[in-house]
Structure 1
C-alpha cells in the first residue's frame, strides 16, 4: 500500500465483542454508514456472550453481507482482535470497540492520514458521551485534568507522532510483522503493540481529525470493575517495561498511598494526642477539596452530574490506583480471571 496508489485500499473493520447487547448495534451501524468508497468488510469476533449479543449480530449480518462473525472462544479482547485480523482480507485494519460509535468520515480521514504520513498506525480522540447523569459524570472524568489527566487522546492536540493511539487504524502487513496483539496482556495491549511498532522503526500517528464517540459504563459496579482491571494491567506493564511507561501513570497509585497514609496517621495522632501526626489529615482533606471543586465545575453538565461526580471521581482514582499497585507488585494471580477481558 503506497501513497501513490490510484485505487483506494480496502479496509477491514475488526471488533471483539462479549456481552454488549446494549451497545453493539449502534457500533456496527456506525460502520455500515461510513462514507468511505473503497471496498470494506466488518469482521466481528464473538466471545461466549450470554446476553443476546449473538442474536443482534446474526440479524445485522443477514441484512448486510459485509458483516461476518467468527468465534473467539477465549473471549478476551486481544484474542478476539487477533482472530479477526487473521480472518480479514484487506490491507488496512480498523480496530473498533463495541462501546464506540464512529463518525461517517472516520475511515476516509484515517486512510488519507495513513497514506499521507506513512505511519503504521493512526488514531484520534476518544470523545466520551453519556446519556444519564451518571454516564455524563464518567464522560466528564474522561476528558478532565483531574480525571484521566486531560491527555490528547481525550481532549485533542496537535497532529504528530505519538506513544500510542486510541483504537487504531493499522497497516495489516505491519501488524503481522510484529506478531499481532500479545494475548497474555488483557488490558493495555494497544500500548504494548504500539511499543513494538515503534521499536521496529514504525510510526504511531495522532490526529485530532479523528474523533470517536465512546459510551461509558452505565453503572458504578461496572465502572469500578473496568478501572480496577485497567489499573492492574497498567501496573503490570509498568513492572515489565519500566521506564518505557510515562510517569503520569504513577500519580493515582501514589495519591492512593498518600491519602490512606494520611488517614491512618491522622487517626493515630487523634488517639495518642501527637499533634504532628494529626497534620497528616491535610492529605485527605486536600483531596476532598479537589473533588468538591471538580464537582462544582462539573455542574455545568447538570446538578445530577455534579452529584454523581462526587462519587465517580474518587471511585476512578482509587479503583485505578489500587489496581495499579496490585499489578506493579505482581499480586494478580488470583485476580486476572476477574480482569480477563
Structure 2
C-alpha cells in the first residue's frame, strides 16, 4: 500500500496538472491513497481537489490550519495507512512510472529514501520564463545539486526531492522538524544519513518542477530559501544540515559588502569588492552568452534571472545571519 502526501496552499494554477499526472500513474489504484494536506487555500484549490475526491475515493483532503509544510507532512504520515510514504509537490508533474519506479527501487536498493531527478520547466513559455527555466537548471544557478542536474546511474546522495520512504523510517529517524519553514526535506535526509541510513537517486524516472514565472516570485522564494539556510543550522545545531553550495551566495554577498564597510578605515580594501564583482560579472556574462547562443534565449533575461536569483538568495542568508543575535537572546 502506497500513501502519497502532497502539501498544498493556493495552488489553483498548478493543482489540476499535478492531479492529472497522479491519475495517469501505472501504480495499482487499489493499493494507493493520495492525501492532499491543505493550508486552508483561498484561491479555489480546495474546490478543484473536491471535484476529484467525488470521482476517485483514493484521493483525500486534510486540513492544515498552520500552513507549514513540515506540519503538513507529519499530519499526512500520521493519517496515512500505507506501508510506503511518498511525498509530492503540487508545483510539479510526474511521468506514469514515477510511483512504481521509486517504490520498486526502495526495496531493491534496500535504501531508506529514494528519489529521482527534478527537471525544471515553466507553465507559460515566453522569452522571460524560458530564461528563468534555464537559470534554474544550470550549475551556476543551482550549484552541484545532483537531483537538479540529473543522473544516468543509481547514486547515493545527500538529499533527493519528494522522497519515497518505508513507513518505519520515521519511527527510526524521527518525523519532520516543525521549526523549519524551509529545508525540512534536506534536514530530514541529513538526519537519516547521520543515523547510518542510505539515500539513493535513480535514473529510471524523473519529475518536472514548474517554476515560478516572475522575477518577484523568484526573488521572494530564494530570499526565503537563503534566510532559512542560516536558521536551519541555528535550530538544528548541525552545520551539516545543509551543504556548502547553500552558502555560496552569502559568501559572495559578504565579499562585496565587508570590503566596502572596511574601506572606511582602509580604502584599498574597496578593490577586493571590485575584484569579486568583476570575476562574477565575467563568469555571468560568459555563461549567459553561451546559453543565449546554444538555447536561443534572451541574453538580457538570462543576466537578470541569474542576478535576481543570486542576490535574493545571498541577501536572505545575510538577513538570517543578522537575526541570529536576537534569536539567541530570546
TM-score by length of 1: 0.86
In 1, the alpha carbon distance for the partners of 2:308 and 2:108 equals: 42
In 1, the alpha carbon distance for the partners of 2:79 and 2:272 equals: 60
State the Cα distance separating 1:144 from its structure 2 match: 1.3
1:60–1:132 distance in 2 versus 1, CA, 3 Å: farther
Asked whether 1:147 is paired with 2:141, we answer yes
State the Cα distance separating 1:250 from its structure 2 match: 2.4
State the Cα distance separating 1:232 from its structure 2 match: 1.1
Asked whether 1:324 is paired with 2:317, we answer yes
1:243–1:190 distance in 2 versus 1, CA, 3 Å: closer
Query: Aligned match of 1:238 in 233, 242, 257?
Result: 233
Query: Aligned match of 1:252 in 249, 254, 261?
Result: 249
- Over the residues paired in the alignment, what is the CA RMSD in angstroms? 2.4
Which deviates more, 142-151 or 257-266? 257-266
Which deviates more, 129-138 or 247-256? 129-138
**1:16 is matched with which residue?**
7
1:280–1:176 distance in 2 versus 1, CA, 3 Å: closer
In 2, the alpha carbon distance for the partners of 1:153 and 1:333 equals: 35
State the aligned residue count.
320
**1:127 is matched with which residue?**
119
In 1, the alpha carbon distance for the partners of 2:119 and 2:141 equals: 14
TM-score by length of 2: 0.89
1:173–1:120 distance in 2 versus 1, CA, 3 Å: same
Task: State the Cα deviation string for residues 94-114 of structure 1 (Å, max 9, x = none).
Answer: 100011111100111111111
Gaps of 5+ in 2: none
In 2, the alpha carbon distance for the partners of 1:331 and 1:198 equals: 27
Task: State the Cα deviation string for residues 225-260 of structure 1 (Å, max 9, x = none).
Answer: 110111111122234312454222221111111134
Task: State the Cα deviation string for residues 171-215 of structure 1 (Å, max 9, x = none).
Answer: 112124333111111110011111222233321112122311000
Query: Aligned match of 2:110 in 91, 108, 118?
Result: 118
State the Cα distance separating 1:155 from its structure 2 match: 1.1
Which deviates more, 325-334 or 243-252? 325-334
In 2, the alpha carbon distance for the partners of 1:317 and 1:277 equals: 21
State the Cα distance separating 1:275 from its structure 2 match: 7.0
**1:169 is matched with which residue?**
164
Query: Aligned match of 2:43 in 40, 51, 74?
Result: 51
Task: State the Cα deviation string for residues 127-151 of structure 1 (Å, max 9, x = none).
Answer: 0012333332222122212111142
In 2, the alpha carbon distance for the partners of 1:234 and 1:102 equals: 28
Asked whether 1:79 is paired with 2:71, we answer yes
1:228–1:279 distance in 2 versus 1, CA, 3 Å: closer
Residue pairs, 1:295-314, within 5 angstroms: 295-299=288-292, 300-304=294-298, 306-314=299-307
